Structure 1
Amino acid sequence: MSELAVRTLSGVAMIAVALAAAAKGGNVFAVGVGLVAMAIYYEWTRLARGWGAIWWVTGFLYALIPALALLWIRERDASGLYLLLWTFIVTWSTDIGAYFVGRAVGKRKLAPAISPGKTVAGFWGGVAAAALLGGAWALLTGLGVALLFLAPLFGVAAQGGDLFESWMKRRAGVKDSGSWLPGHGGVLDRLDGLVPVAVLTAMAQIGGLT
């Protein structure tokens, strides 16, 4: 089976699990988020081994804050599920758009010293995908016009989260944060973009923009 096929199948499986847990909400979603946060922290500590205690504290906050943000988004009000799915859609579409546009037409490197595989075309492909799919979901569900403008901005944030994790891996001298997910590496490899998007979405909700 090709690498793309493995990546696609495992990606679909992860999306299905995430959607099922999100739809269920309550304790099921809370436990799932908690387990994911634990996995993120575990992988963080492996990457940052020997970097000093401040990195362990930072990693704890890095895992905890987005986990709390996701729980806040889901349970805050009646539209919580729709907003949570918007958060997922923006993150996933950014990743998928960047991957396929980058592979198809990407030539100029975005940040070769940090992540040689990322391209400028891929970056804009991710932003465009976030804007289109995130915007479409916001309109379809009546979440508010503000999310039309936030979707591409959060698409940029998702890629910033990806680049930060790539920098950590380069400093640690590893290709992936783990090997739990076939075709994707570790949990942190897959959720590095969701971390900033979850936090920013919760902040937008608290600020009354959603």
Structure 2
Amino acid sequence: MDQVTTQKPIILFPNQKPWMDREVRLLLIVRNTAFRSGDREAYSVARANLRRGICKAKYEHKQRIEEHFNSADPRRMCQGFQAITDHKSPSTSPTTSSALLPVELNHFYACFEKGRMEPMLKAELLPGEQPLTLSTSEVFATLSRVNARKASGPHGIPGRVFRACAEQLTDVFTDIFNLSLAQAVVPTCFKSATIVPVPKHSAAVTPLQ
């Protein structure tokens, strides 16, 4: 079994939304109480209040995030990126962190070329053949349509970061994609993916009477 299977780490993410505040929690309790009571009118009113409370909480959270980027302070902008990506600093002592930092950097930069032994060679084009290129508008439109509710891939970057920073990332990704198309080579880090198996249970069949 150990020779034919591989081990992969499984990361569990808490389902705690960043815009969830005390008012939304109270409205959620009221909605659940109205549902258990069986009063349809009270339940309908509680659901409407909860929807309005969620929209208000999301708008206020958006305003708080945008305030970080309206300032010229680099620290405030860094805090905004940390809020978008849910970045949390590791709780390690300064002595241990500084001692292991060179090793961690070596492993980080080496992982991009792990398993790649052949050099990158530029593909030769036929006479009159032009390589496929992507425009900045196409890349920007693709980044703007990224589903923010989808889980992040192996890179660990949430989808809402690509949407919020689409304007800043468009030129960088356009150069990377066009270089990959011109050389007919896909970078190794682009070939990794996260596969989540979903169990499928067969529906129970009710016998005909």
Q: TM-score normalised by the shorter chain: which range applies?
A: under 0.3
Structure with the largest fraction of helix: 1
Higher RCO, 1 or 2 (CA under 8 Å, sep at least 6)?
A: 1
TM-score by length of 2: 0.24
Larger Rg, first or second structure (1 or 2): 2
TM-score by length of 1: 0.24
